[in-house]
Structure 1
Amino acid sequence: MANSKQQEEALPSRAGKIWQSVTDSIAVALSGPRLKLAAKAGLAAGLSFLIAPLMPGAAAQYPYYAPLGALVAMYENVSGSMKQGVQTLVGLGLGIGLAFLLISVSKPSPVTVAIFMGLGVLLAGLPRLGAGRDWIPTAALLVLLVGGNNPDDFSFGYLVQMGVGVAVGIAVNMLVFPPLHFKAAALSLAELRWALAKQLSDMGEALRETWPPEHEDWAVRSEELAQSARAVRAAVQKADASRQANPRRRLHPHDLDRDYNNVRGLESVTFHIQDMTEVLADVIWDKDVPFVIPLPYSEPLADALAAVSEVLRSMEDEHPQKQNELIESAKTAVDALAERMASDDVNPDAPSAAESIVLNLHRILRVVSAGQS
């Protein structure tokens, strides 16, 4: 009976998770950037299909490959469209060449087709082919199966129309509101700073509580912070890629070098906060750890954590003069505690872990100060 009841209780929870996953997926698919990309892909496909019949010679007989080329070249940024389009055309060229090599050797048969498709897959392993690698065996197979008795005309038309579609796709992506992801990168940096500041303030509150503290969610955020740092770097790299070959970059100048410096600094801060998180969590909950935080240091250590937390929060909206004041105040708190620990004769039953936390706080302030200069 107990197992049956547990299963009944688990069903709504499982259904809720599935529904949440479905709604999240729909939200991503219907997001603003995705809708813009879909609209541009549709426009590029329509334009390429309009232009396709105007191509010379046998190419006009294969207009349906032009919209395919437009879709292949459609990417979230202009430089990606160019790269993907060129790689696709290179892959098509290699695949067509492979098909003509087969035709020149012998008539297509199950054995020869199998051999040359295997060769196509091997060629797809060449470095830097990117999106073009999957088109090598595909193009070769299409020439053999669709080209039939007239592989020359088909190959010409196939390659020309795909090229037309790729050119139209790149042009549409470049001229129709090419996206710049500077705001998303700045927002990611701000969110990470806030998360790191909250982690420090939560650890400071834990030091003020009776141990074991009531609030312990901060103790399991280490991997979450690492994932956030990786996401921030990806966001800045995406912003960097979005400006390449983008004509709008001149109208919206942005210092991405500063963003990269901020990312490196926040990655370093994340590392130090992860270390402090593990040290404090071990001291509180792991009975086998031979370290303690002496009671006289708990309150000043909490104050130091709160001061550094305020420094990180100030990086978003405070005036530089106010930021410098908070940095100096945090340095004073951290240095005073370090001097006190060096001169005090606490003599606990176990070595102090406070020194490790203070050292990490000092390193965080050094990183932040370097970012200010």
Structure 2
Amino acid sequence: MGHKPEIRRLLPALRQAVTGHRLLFAAKTAAAAGLAWYLAPLMPGTAAAYPYYAPLGALVSMHPTVAASARHGLQSLLGLAVGIGMAFAVTTVAAPTALAVALVVGLGVLIGGLPRLGSASEWVPMAALFVLVLGDSNAEGFSFAYVLQMAMGVAVGFAVNWLVFPPLHLAGIDPAIAGHRSALSKQLKDMARAMEESWPPNHENWAGRSDELSRTAIAVRTAVHEAELSAKANPRSRRRASRIPSDLAGLRTLERLTFHVQDITDVLASVIWEENAGTSIPESVLDHLSEALEGTALVIEQWRDGDTGQLERQLAEAKEGVAELGDAITHAAAGDASVNAAASVAMSLRRIITAVSNAG
């Protein structure tokens, strides 16, 4: 009985780890390592005596995207070359003593800190250490074998990743965008309802929801970025990744919408709860403000939902609602009421509508 809570916590983590993409990636990595090991004894000269570096090369080159496989594989080989060169420089003046080991590792870590080295930074001290302590009297032959087997493994890993169902991460974009659209729409709807309640409103969860909006925005940005990376050097991208430019444009629009919704949130929270902030909204404006918020929420809800006609109708209604809000603000201002906060919200709503209209 005592183990059931731990099992319940473990199962979601296992489901997240053992996905279709992960199983395919594991199978491809295993196949690449096995193929590299099979080919390793065929390498010329002394390289055949060090077959274990071939599957290591395959392993380091396997990454969730084809472009990342090529980049990390080449960076690893660059790190090997730098580390081997450094080890040779040390062995010309010192035997593989504790001091020499400390020297090459320290220098390797320093060199690895140079900018733009990427994965190479991890391999510089490792390669130097291996050549120093394993190369012994045959450092040149060991270095040749090390680089050749690793290069072969990297080539095998890249080839397997490129040829066998190269990953194209497009499936996560639509759910991420839909989730963020829903969060933005809900935020505006909740604020619309708050304008209809007695102040201060009973429901105030919306006022502290900026972090949640930021998280869903980050999820969209991550999904689009991963899709963009996975399309690079990917033979499947010619047929299936033509949507990415549209998704990037959608991401930019969502970021603008998020900025304006958060700005509205800050303004209305200040109006309701900050007594000395100098912000207020005239009572004659509240109903129009609620309707404008609700209409704009429906615009965000309809955007990218596939029904262009419905979006056009909703845009027209939202524009009319914001125009009526503007008229109400003008009338309130004529009576010397403070309308700065209401005018700020109205401007943000107009910008949201414009951003969606331009995005199509």
For the criterion TM > 0.5, the same-fold answer is yes
Q: Distance in 2 between matches of 1:19 and 1:288?
A: 52
Write the letter of the residue equivalent to 1:144: L
Aligned AA for 1:362? R
Matched residue type, 2:142: F
Q: CA deviation at 1:318?
A: 4.2
Q: Which amino acid aligns with 2:30?
A: G
Counterparts of 2:23 and 2:191, CA distance in 1: 42
| Unmatched segments (≥5 aa) in structure 2 | none
- 1:242 maps onto 2:258 in alignment: no
Specify the SS of the correspondent of 1:134. helix
Pick the aligned partner of 1:267 from 255, 259, 278.
255
Letter matched to residue 241 of structure 1: L
Q: Is 1:62 aligned to 2:50, yes or no?
A: yes
1:119: how far off?
Answer: 1.5
Equivalent position of 2:215 in the other structure:
227
Tell me if 1:360 matches 2:345: no
- The CA deviation at 1:215 is 2.4
Show the counterpart of 1:289: 277
- Report the alpha carbon displacement of residue 227 of structure 1 after superposing the two structures with TM: 2.5
Shift of 1:301: 0.8
Question: Separation in 2 of the partners of 1:246 and 1:234?
Answer: 19
Indicate if the aligned counterparts of 2:288 and 2:328 stay in contact, CA closer than 8 A.
Answer: no
Which residue identity is paired with 1:57? Answer: G
Amino acid at match of 2:347: L
Q: Answer whether contact 1:65 1:162 (CA < 8 A) is retained.
A: yes
Deviations 1:267-296 (A, max 9, x none): 111011001111112222233332222222
Please give the alpha-carbon distance, in whole angstroms, between the structure 2 residues aligned to 1:188 and 1:20.
Answer: 26
Residue of structure 2 equivalent to 1:148: 136
Q: Does the aligned pair in 2 maintain the 1:232–1:263 contact within 8 Å?
A: yes
- Give 5+ residue unaligned stretches, structure 1: 1-11
Deviations 1:193-234 (A, max 9, x none): 121111111111111222333322211111221222222122
| Deviation string, structure 1 residues 156-181 (Cα, Å, up to 9, x no partner) | 11111111111111111111111111
Please give the secondary structure, in 1, of the residue aligned with 2:236.
Answer: helix
CA contact (8 A) 2:111 2:121 kept: yes
- Give CA-to-partner distance per residue, 1:336-373, whole Å, 9 cap, x none: 2112211334444x55522211111011111111112x
* Residues in 1 aligned to 2:11 and 2:131: alpha-carbon distance in whole angstroms: 42
Bigger drift between 90-99 and 181-190 goes to 181-190
Provide the C-alpha distance between the structure 2 equivalents of 1:119 and 1:175, rounded to a whole number of angstroms. 38
3-state SS of paired residue (1:316)? coil
Q: Which amino acid aligns with 1:306?
A: E
Q: Which residue of 2 aligns with 1:192?
A: 180
- Asked if residue 315 in structure 1 is aligned to residue 303 in structure 2, the reply is yes
Deviation per CA, 1:235-260: give whole Å up to 9, x if none. 11111110111111123142322211
Contact kept? 1:294, 1:346, Cα under 8 Å: no
Question: Normalised by the size of structure 1, how large is the TM-score?
Answer: 0.90
Give the distance between the partners of 1:343 and 1:212, measured in 2 at CA: 24
- SS state at 1:133 partner: helix
**2:96 touches 2:133 (CA, 8 Å); kept in 1?**
no
Contact 1:279 1:353 survives alignment (8 Å)? yes
Distance 1:293 1:136 in 2: 63
Contact 2:184-2:258 at 8 Å conserved across structures: yes
**Separation in 2 of the partners of 1:56 and 1:204?**
74
- Aligned partner (choices 88, 95, 98) of residue 86 of structure 2: 98
Which of 101, 108, 113 is matched with 1:113 structurally? 101
State how many pairs are aligned: 357
Deviation at 1:192, TM superposition (A): 1.2
Question: What amino acid sits opposite 1:91 in the alignment?
Answer: G
User: 25-34 or 232-241: which moved more?
Assistant: 25-34
- The aligned residue for residue 183 of structure 1 is 171
Higher mean displacement: 282-291 or 191-200: 282-291
2:185–2:298 contact (8 Å) kept in structure 1: yes
> In 2, Cα distance between the equivalents of 1:346 and 1:204?
24
CA distance in structure 2 between the partners assigned to 1:301 and 1:19 by the alignment:
49
TM-score (norm 2): 0.93
1:312 offset after TM fit, Å?
A: 0.9
- Counterpart in 2 of 1:126? 114
Q: Which of 135, 139, 149 is the matching residue for 1:161?
A: 149
Partner of 2:72: 84
In structure 2, distance between residues paired with 1:218 and 1:343: 29
Q: Secondary structure at the match of 2:40?
A: helix
Counterpart amino acid of 2:83?
A: G
Equivalent in the alignment of 1:174: 162
Quick one: which amino acid aligns to residue 171 of structure 1? Answer: A
In structure 2, the CA distance between the partners of 1:21 and 1:49, relative to structure 1 (3 Å rule), is: same
Amino acid at match of 1:76: P
Give, in angstroms, the shift of residue 134 of structure 1.
Answer: 0.7
- 1:82–1:170 CA contact under 8 A, matched in 2: yes
* Aligned amino acid, residue 133 of structure 1: S
Structure 1 segments of 4 or more deviating over 4 A? Answer: 18-24
Cα distance in 1 between the residues matched to 2:256 and 2:209 = 16
